[in-house]
Amino acid sequence: MLTRKQHELLLFIQRRLEESGISPSFEEMKEALDLKSKSGVHRLISALEERGFIRRLPNRARALEILRQPDDVSGSARPAPSNVVEMPQAKTPPAPAPANDVIEIPLHGRIAAGVPIEAMEDTQTLPVPAALLGSGEHYALEVSGDSMVEAGIFDGDFALVRKTDVARDGEIIVALVRGEEATLKYLHREGGMIRLDPANSAYEPQVYAANEVQVQGRLAGLLRRYH
């Protein structure tokens, strides 16, 4: 049994998902329900979630899914809109999948774009526009150094990396060197050797035996913050 405000919020979320496939923001929900603060929206969302009407999709911002429709409403000051027709749960068409525009991916510390440094430090998360990522599992590394500037990769950028252990010659990869240091470089194979090329004429290529280099991912995109 839902309160009037819970019922109104559930209908508002469903309508926005049907219209655009994107969940409304908390600010939009606050205005639609004429609430004084977003804390009221948080309480309503939590109540709907506890009662099994909606769920929040993990690691994604603005991602809500409608699980079922209300049977009735308690404490209503006015009836539900007359154009709302409630159907049995089994016949309710599924809401379109939310077009989630932001995804949280692991942020594994800093990676060298100069000489190799340790990577995979304390894990945090980084919100990333979904449009920057393709299929597969991804993580982010903060770039340190200037050896990839001619490829448009600068100190302080966030490298968005698709996790993989294979790559083609000429691709920019995260290379784990001798099992302990990681670097961001172009990959080239020369016989039984691996050459990691910088994108800065001031730096020399790094050459290793093939068994000293492990591919840990391919560059999928970049995220830059302007201060």
pLDDT digit string, tens, across residues 132-149:
777 888 988 889 889 899
Region of residue 17 (left: phi > 0; alpha: psi -120 to 50; beta: else): alpha
> Domain 105-223 in CATH: superfamily?
Umud Fragment, subunit A (2.10.109.10)
Residue 185 is a catalytic residue: yes
Which residue out of 91, 147, 163, 201 is catalytically annotated? 147
CATH-assigned architecture of domain 2-72: Orthogonal Bundle (1.10)
Q: Helix %, strand %, coil % for the chain, to 5?
A: 20, 35, 45
pTM (two decimals): 0.54
Assess whether 37 carries a catalytic annotation: no
Segment of 35-39, 53-57, 102-106, 198-202 carrying the highest mean pLDDT: 198-202
Sorted by where each begins, the domain ranges of the chain are 2-72, 105-223
**Options 144, 163, 185, 201, the catalytic residue:** 185
Q: What is the pLDDT of residues 106-128, one digit of tens each?
A: 888 788 766 554 455 556 888 88
pLDDT of 195 strictly over 90:
yes
